Structure 1
């Protein structure tokens, strides 16, 4: 403490000598610190600082619930044509397009010279529907439609007259006239429109100078054939 006083005196002498006024020691030395004052009022907000650097990304949050579907958008434009797809497997077989059948092909087992009566063919090449009757010698129509009939006969003798008949009326006539005892052939064909119940047959007709007969043996056939070309059922137009 004494040291401080000495310094104060010396400083005062020096100061007085410089300024002509000794002053006081208190002017040269600070006093004892006082009691801290009360806190002042908060100051005004400072200016907004500059944006800070972007922080690191945080952890992902818990997934929220699914929202309601939105309204359908407008139709987009057509895209580019795609590549051809892989061929599919083969489908099941469909029904046959033509389910109506009527056909026969028959021949003679022995020669015949019967006149003005149906020629009875008893040798069946095909008669699955049994529409040809090998007892009466007549074909009976069960399916209305257009039919094709044809015959090829071996003739023996001077000649023979053969007619294709429908319900007792002549459809076509064939005359074979061969003036020797050798064998010859006679044939004919026709397309005929038939309704249900119509009957068709071959018949040797008339008498004259022809005294031949329709011939058949193990080496020669006389054949009568017919089959349905197109059925004509109710509601369908005819050709």
Structure 2
């Protein structure tokens, strides 16, 4: 036979109370109002009893709203608000295009005022000697003169012989050529000429003064027992490049002029009287 034990009364009461507390704690807590209720209880309202007596319009006025809601418009201003435009900044130095065509040359500007003369510079190095220039205009030279002599005798032969001189007394500007025995006219004008020779004993003296290839005057002496000095003088109108010279006639008869190595017996001279350019 099974024996039962009875629990004391206080123990039963304590167990019942614990079970009730556990059941209550297991139920979820539900607030007395929802989260969307605008008029939910504010624990701060307990400090201001007068908030319970505000009307609905006052409660609406303190609600928080966004400024973009259609119910309310933003403040108006007497002038429109300025509009700003964002302009991008471009570094034009990296946007270099192709080189364009050259433009037309502009007109010359007005001449500026002359500046003051600058200080004198230092002397430069001496340059090298230049080449000789061409012969100048002979018409600018109004002087011409020569006087030459011969110390050797000359005998005729089968052809004409040019009388060449070996002594130079005056030869201005070298117009007389000592190698050819001819005077070259560089200055056109009137010239005076003089020829002096010494004849040979028992021989004929026969000479011509020539202008180019034309006989101008003759100097002649017949054979004689003694020798004499014979001369001829004259004037000529010469043009530029004319030549005046003396020749010994060819030997049809014995023909000669006398001279020796010590004295000058033969002379030929000439000079310009008046240049053509002088008018």
**TM-score by structure 1 length?**
0.53
Q: What aligned pairs does 1:157-236 form with structure 2 within 5 A after superposition? A: 157=201, 158-180=203-225, 182-233=226-277
Aligned equivalents of 1:190, 1:221: Cα separation in 2: 20
Report the RMSD for the aligned CA atoms in angstroms: 2.0
Comparing 155-164 with 144-153, greater Cα deviation is found at 155-164
Can you list the C-alpha shifts for 1:127-169, whole angstroms capped at 9, x where unaligned?
Answer: 1311111100000000000000001111224121011100110
Unaligned stretches of 5+ in structure 2? 1-139
Can you list the C-alpha shifts for 1:55-103, whole angstroms capped at 9, x where unaligned?
Answer: xxxxxxxxxxxxxxxxxxxxxxxxxxxxxxxxxxxxxxxxxxx961100
Alignment equivalent of 1:110, drawn from 127, 135, 152: 152
Partner of 1:149: 193
Q: Give 1 or 2 for the bigger CA radius of gyration.
A: 2
- The 3 A distance-change label for structure 1 pair 211 and 99 is closer
Contact 1:116 1:203 in 2 (8 A): yes
Partner of 2:179: 135
**Could you say which structure has the higher strand fraction?**
1
Aligned equivalents of 1:110, 1:221: Cα separation in 2: 9
- The 3 A distance-change label for structure 1 pair 217 and 172 is same
Q: What is the Cα deviation at residue 185 of structure 1? A: 1.8
Can you list the C-alpha shifts for 1:27-78, whole angstroms capped at 9, x where unaligned?
Answer: xxxxxxxxxxxxxxxxxxxxxxxxxxxxxxxxxxxxxxxxxxxxxxxxxxxx
Contact 2:184 2:244 in 1 (8 A): yes
User: Secondary structure of the residue that 1:129 maps to in structure 2?
Assistant: helix
Q: Please list every run of at least 4 consecutive aligned residues from structure 1 whose deviation after the TM superposition is greater than 3 angstroms.
A: none
Q: What is the Cα deviation at residue 172 of structure 1? A: 0.5
Partner of 1:122: 166
Aligned equivalents of 2:258, 2:190: Cα separation in 1: 28
**Could you say which structure has the higher helix fraction?**
2
Partner of 1:6: none
Comparing 121-130 with 139-148, greater Cα deviation is found at 121-130
Aligned equivalents of 1:214, 1:131: Cα separation in 2: 27
Aligned equivalents of 1:183, 1:106: Cα separation in 2: 22
**TM-score by structure 2 length?**
0.46
Aligned equivalents of 2:195, 2:221: Cα separation in 1: 13
Q: What is the Cα deviation at residue 220 of structure 1? A: 4.2
Comparing 196-205 with 207-216, greater Cα deviation is found at 207-216
Contact 1:161 1:205 in 2 (8 A): yes
Aligned equivalents of 1:113, 1:211: Cα separation in 2: 6
Count of residues in correspondence between the two structures = 137
